[in-house]
A = this chain, B = another copy of it.
Amino acid sequence: MEAEHYVGGLLGRAAKAAVKLAAMDGFEKNAVLLKMADLLEKNSAAVVKANAADVEAAKKSMTPSELDRLVLDAGRVKSIAGDVRAVALLKDPVGEEEGWTVPNGLRIRRVRVPFGVIGAIYENRPNVTVDIASLCVKSGNACVLRGSASALNSNRALVAALKPALPDGAVELVDTADRAAVDVMMKARGRLDLLIPRGGAELIRHTVENSRVPVIETGTGNCHVFVDADAGLDMAERIVMNSKTQRPSVCNAEEKLLVHRSVAREFVPRIVKSLRAKGVEIRACPETMKLVPDAIPAKEDDWYREYLGLIIAIKIVGGVDEAIAHINKYNSKHTEAIVTGSYDNAARFTKQVDAAAVMVNASTRFTDGGQFGFGAEVGISTQKLHARGPMGLRELTCTKYIVEGNGQVRP
């Protein structure tokens, strides 16, 4: 009940702020963003100090890479402020419209408007707090933010720094480690217009399965690269190495390699050598095992898994159709790539593979709002409703019909 009362209060304030934000024009919103950036820099020392307390408390329990994601120093705060200024420069999607007139003279316009109040549940990277706050301000939405308990001091300091720039209630931090607060958010249908979970697979699964508020599912990427019969093998090696090893911990990294049987004997030993030189563990289908006898036999479960690390599973397939069938059975509908010289196979692969993004002769790592030219990224949607693939500012808005007449009634 206490969480309901507390979070309910935040949601109420956010609802009032949403009305104000929706009424602000682009110049006003940009002025707020630039002030947010200035305030972050001005309060950098306080933020870094609060963060140090979080880092100190987390030292015992977190891995070095988890800890690295949590840490803020003056340089990182400056960089976050720079990101906020970059958001100010983006095009404002609010107010975009298309219109037409129907035979009875009614003029119908579909106008892009903010959602209202957006909730976010995320893990220990405190930069996400500022990231979502700035994207929501730019798109005219109020937001209620629930970061992880381990970053609570950092988030508190960040939001405190931002508040003087913002309309009251525009960015509300759920300032409690009580998990009941998350349940209240997930049940706040009618008070939260959208809920975005950002983080690990378990966080996302839990939110998607329990939320009664509309959710956008982001993130899980069991991404494949299929090396076709007539792929240029130099290009194939470059793409596989980049997809797998350039940043193995992220959702658009490659997890699986499918190789056409006709090039397997040449390509598999070669790519395995390069991958192992980068520390990648090889798991293999029975046919691949014959070419790489010291690999680890892949289990059925491997084909479903997102390793998010230096592991890859390799399977030899008979052609593009088998590759497509395998991918559509096991993938998480994020990003899939084909390396091929065949026009027909590229067309078939892009048409039939069910994923947010399908790459031809390019690294899976390009599925990214920045790389796509959106300037900012809210996350990468792996669902089909509303948004699919990298989400930019436009995906934080919805539409409203405005119909203007001069007394029309239905006959």
Contact = CB atoms under 8 A, between A and B. Distances in A.
A407 B238 contact: yes
A263 B190 CA distance: 33
A386 B217 CA distance: 13
Nearest to A234: B407
Contact of A189 (B208, B243, B399): B208
Interface string A373-394: 1000000000111101110000
Contacts of A194: 384-385
Nearest to A373: B102
A23 interface: yes
Interface stretch (A36-44, A48-56, A279-287, A360-368): A360-368
B367 A401 contact: yes
Interface residues of A, number: 66
Interface string A11-24: 00000000100110
Interface of A: 19, 22-23, 100, 102, 106, 108, 115-116, 189, 193-194, 208-209, 212, 214, 216, 232, 235, 238-239, 241-243, 246, 328, 346, 350-352, 354-363, 365-367, 371-373, 383-386, 388-390, 398-410
A372 B401 contact: yes
B360 A402 contact: yes
B209 A403 contact: no
Contact of A246 (B214, B359, B362, B409): B409
B362 A407 contact: yes
B214 A212 contact: no
Given A360-B405, A361-B405, A407-B238, A354 B116 contact: yes
Contacts of A409: 238-239, 241-243, 246, 362-363, 365
3 interchain residue pairs of minimum CB distance: A362-B405, A242-B409, A386-B386
The residue among A216, A346, A373 with the most chain B CB atoms within 10 A of its own CB is A373
Contact of A356 (B209, B242, B401): B401
